[in-house]
């Protein structure tokens, strides 16, 4: 008997499209971190400031990421990343 939800299941880590600040990106990992999202949204930085990272999913929970956090990726997940005036 196979477990389709196992990390080693066939088809796992298949390409999934997400949207960051209105731009589509294709990712293959199951989780994505605050730092990865910020670097995709602002590849040139600056990286010594705080960003506000909010996300929405069609059929899952919406939320916010802060430095050091990550979230599970869902198909057509949308991220909004803005430079914050908070430190």
User: What per-residue confidence (pLDDT) applies to 59?
Assistant: 80
Q: pLDDT in tens for each of the 87 residues of the chain?
A: 434 444 444 446 789 999 999 999 999 999 999 999 999 999 998 988 999 999 999 887 899 999 999 999 988 899 999 998 765
C-alpha dist (Å) from residue 62 to 12, 59, 78: 23, 9, 9
All domains of the chain in start order, with CATH: 16-83 (3.10.20)
- The strands making up 78-83's β-sheet, listed across from edge to edge, are 23-27, 16-20, 78-83, 51-56, 63-65
Can you give the pTM of this predicted structure?
0.80
- Residue 2 makes CB contacts below 8 A (sequence gap 6+) with 9
Token digits of residue 50: 């705080």
φ/ψ (deg, to 5) at 52: -95, 120
């Amino acid at each position: 008997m196979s477990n389709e939800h196992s990390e080693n299941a066939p088809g796992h880590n298949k390409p999934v499209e997400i949207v960051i600040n209105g731009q589509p990106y294709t990712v293959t990992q199951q989780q994505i971190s605050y730092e990865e999202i910020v670097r995709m949204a602002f590849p040139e930085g600056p990286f010594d400031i705080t960003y506000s990272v909010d996300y929405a999913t069609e059929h899952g929970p919406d939320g916010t990421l802060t430095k050091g956090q990550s979230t599970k990726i869902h198909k057509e997940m949308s991220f909004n990343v803005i430079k914050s005036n908070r430190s």
